[in-house]
Structures are given as structure tokens and as C-alpha cells.
């Protein structure tokens, strides 16, 4: 439905938590009486799944070093832009965009500052970060 918010799905939340904590694992399939060719394909699929899982785990941890997510209050605390170096602001900007892309900030209260200014908007925070790294968002 347009304009609606999807409710949180427990299995998606649990997968996200397992990826972030590093406890997610791939399962290996063994087939009794499988031909060597079939078992080789299953083994290759297992290795592909392990690689994908490692990439997902790394991706899900993006931004975890600079964000504080409080599951109880459903809030995300972001670093004060004024305190970030240009390179740190660039990294935070990239990680923030990734968190937005994967929906990690949906339904969360955002607490962000730029000096004395405060916002609860990811878009405003992105503009502050862009200005910090020297990119004109309106150009």
C-alpha cells in the first residue's frame, strides 16, 4: 500500500541481529547416495553461501562504530557533525546512506547534531555531512 509502513518481521529482525552479532551461519546439505557431481555442486553452493553470508555480515555492521542504536527506545544516536574530521564525515555519510538503503533506520528516532543545531531527520543530517566534506547538496 502506498504510504504505508511495513510491520517488522521477526525473522528479518532476527537475521539482522545474527548478522550484526556474527552468529549467523550457513548450512551444509548432505544427500545420501548423491553422485560426486551432485555433491560437488552442493559443496560449491555451500561455499557461495558462506561468502555471501560474510559479505552480508560486513554490510550489516556498517556504521556500527559510529552509531548507537537503542532497541528499547527505538532511537539512533549519530555523532555530532561538528566534531568529525572531513574523512570521518565522508565515512559516516557513506555508512548512513547504506543504513538508509537497507532500511535500518526505518521507524527509528534519529538524534543528530551539528554543533548547537539538532535534527531528527536523516536528510538534514546528510546535508550537514555533505557540507562538512565540502559538497554542495544544491549544486
Per-residue pLDDT reduced to its tens digit, 16-71: 777 767 788 888 888 999 999 999 999 999 999 988 888 777 666 555 567 766 66
**Cα separation, 99 vs 95, whole angstroms:** 6
According to the model, what pLDDT value does residue 22 have? Answer: 75
Which candidate, 65, 96, 81, places its Cα nearest to that of 134? 81
Which candidate, 111, 110, 116, places its Cα nearest to that of 82? 116
Which candidate, 133, 111, 108, 125, places its Cα nearest to that of 5? 108
The CA-CA-CA angle for residues 9, 120, 105, to 5°, reads 25
**Cα separation, 22 vs 20, whole angstroms:** 6
Burial tier of 26 (Cβ tally within 10 Å: 0-12, 13-18, 19+): middle
- Residues of the chain with pLDDT > 90, as a percent, come to 31
Q: How confident is the model at residue 103 (pLDDT cuts 50, 70, 90)?
A: confident
Can you tell me whether residue 63 is helix, strand or coil? coil
Contacts 24+ apart (CB under 8 A), 42-50: 50/26
DSSP state of 7: P
Amino acid at each position: 500500500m502506498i504510504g504505508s509502513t511495513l510491520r517488522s518481521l521477526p525473522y528479518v529482525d532476527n537475521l539482522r541481529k545474527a548478522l550484526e552479532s556474527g552468529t549467523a551461519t550457513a548450512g551444509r546439505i548432505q544427500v545420501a547416495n548423491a553422485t560426486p557431481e551432485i555433491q560437488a555442486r552442493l559443496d560449491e553452493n555451500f561455499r557461495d553461501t558462506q561468502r555471501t553470508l560474510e559479505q552480508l555480515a560486513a554490510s550489516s555492521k556498517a556504521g556500527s562504530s559510529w552509531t548507537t542504536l537503542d532497541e528499547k527506545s527505538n532511537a539512533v544516536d549519530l555523532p555530532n557533525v561538528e566534531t568529525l574530521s572531513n574523512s570521518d564525515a565522508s565515512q559516516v555519510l557513506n555508512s548512513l546512506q547504506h543504513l538508509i538503503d537497507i532500511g535500518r533506520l526505518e521507524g527509528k528516532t534519529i538524534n543528530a547534531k551539528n554543533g548547537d543545531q539538532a535534527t531528527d531527520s536523516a536528510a538534514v543530517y546528510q546535508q550537514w555531512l555533505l557540507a562538512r566534506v565540502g559538497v554542495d547538496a544544491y549544486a
